[in-house]
């Protein structure tokens, strides 16, 4: 390995096969997989968030899966700190760090850094959540627009999670999030003062393949116990504004358990919402690349495993990764 630390990013929309690709690479290249998905960090939602199974986790080291209680919202800053520690640990163990997920902001917190937003007081966070629950995201967007129009202009009125975050930052610091983001931030990830190098494998499968995969995954989740997971989560009576309570499938199965939706309605709604989300994810990754074009290899297929690729295609993928592992830096 070169002296400059290197990590591989495996990114793409939900149900595109990121985990299968990362696992195949980890097995062939001696990798450690680090979760970069904002929902897969939560414990108790292993089935519904499609976390790697125990058998899959036994095939290669997996980190930051199911490590956060759903009652505790995880910030990008928290995840970045955890990911930096896992990157360093993988490097020290002589393993290739493979960051795998669909949360663009997580990846960007490493490749570009994050703004120096102070710790938000609990009262500001509680007020933001209360307003969101009482008035809804559109009304919260209007309140934010009056207080912090610059940040509000960047957010969709339906994006409840980011609206709540923006409102709590303004309420807790007296400054808007956009204003904080203009301040010098942490900068790209570093190890002992040396910046990490990143290359990316980006999955961008056809829409019809994703829609079919989402439907198949939903049916598999139901067979594997997704309803029981949501039943246990609902029993905790957590704040509905918490990120885990809005994980794909949680609102729909909560409504099913409450008798407000039939199983067919819950499935249709969950698959529709997930499909809409994957479209936004794919657009984000296309227009906000995680690495330079020369450091990005795009796969236009849904990945079920490395065995689906032809010998030539596997060779291209492994050649791309190996050349980046060995390239750059000051030599071995």
State the binding site for ATP: 12-19
DSSP structure class, residue 93:
T
What's the CA dihedral at 63, 69, 75, 78 to 10 degrees?
Answer: -50
- List binding-site positions: 12-19
CA distance 156 to 133: 17
Residue corresponding to tokens 């969709």: 156
Sheet arrangement for strand 31-35:
62-63, 31-35, 96-101, 6-11, 197-203, 296-299
- Spell out the long-range contacts of 240-243 with Cβ–Cβ below 8 A and sequence spacing 24 or more: 240/133, 241/128, 241/129, 241/132, 241/133, 241/160, 241/164, 242/70, 242/71, 242/73, 242/129, 243/38, 243/39, 243/42, 243/73, 243/74, 243/161
Phi, psi angle pair for 160, to nearest 5°: -60, -40
CA distance 168 to 67: 24
Residue corresponding to tokens 């760090």: 97
331 CB neighbour count, 10 Å cutoff? 8
CA distance 11 to 8: 10
CA distance 256 to 266: 6
In a 3-state reduction of DSSP, which class is residue 259? coil
Cα radius of gyration rounded to whole Å, the chain: 20
């Amino acid at each position: 390995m070169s002296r400059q630390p290197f990590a591989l990013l495996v990114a793409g929309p939900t149900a595109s096969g990121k985990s299968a690709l990362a696992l195949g690479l980890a097995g062939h290249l001696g990798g450690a997989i680090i979760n970069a998905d904002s929902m897969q960090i939560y414990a108790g939602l292993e089935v519904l968030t499609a976390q790697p199974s125990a058998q899959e986790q036994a095939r290669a080291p997996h980190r930051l899966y199911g490590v956060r209680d759903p009652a505790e919202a995880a910030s990008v800053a928290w995840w970045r700190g955890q990911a930096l520690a896992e990157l360093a640990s993988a490097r020290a163990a002589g393993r290739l760090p493979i960051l795998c997920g669909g949360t663009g902001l997580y990846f960007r917190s490493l490749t570009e850094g994050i703004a120096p937003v102070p710790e938000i007081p609990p009262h500001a966070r509680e007020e933001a959540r209360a307003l969101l629950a009482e008035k809804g995201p559109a009304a919260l967007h209007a309140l934010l627009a009056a207080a912090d129009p610059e940040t509000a202009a960047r957010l969709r009125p339906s994006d409840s999670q980011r609206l709540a975050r923006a409102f709590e930052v303004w309420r807790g610091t007296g400054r808007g999030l956009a204003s904080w983001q203009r301040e010098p931030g942490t900068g790209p990830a570093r190890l002992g003062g040396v910046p990490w190098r990143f290359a990316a494998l980006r999955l961008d499968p056809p829409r019809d393949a994703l829609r079919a995969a989402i439907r198949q995954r939903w049916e598999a989740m139901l067979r594997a116990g997704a309803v029981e997971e949501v039943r246990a989560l609902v029993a905790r009576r957590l704040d509905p504004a918490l990120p885990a309570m809005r994980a794909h499938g949680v609102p729909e199965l909560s409504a099913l358990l409450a008798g407000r939706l039939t199983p067919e309605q819950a499935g249709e709604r969950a698959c529709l919402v997930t499909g809409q989300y994957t479209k936004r994810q794919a657009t984000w990754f296309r227009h906000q690349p995680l690495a330079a074009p020369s450091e990005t290899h795009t796969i236009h297929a849904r990945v079920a495993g490395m065995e689906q690729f032809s010998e030539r295609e596997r060779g291209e993928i492994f050649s791309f990764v190996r050349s980046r592992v060995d390239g750059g830096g000051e030599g071995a």
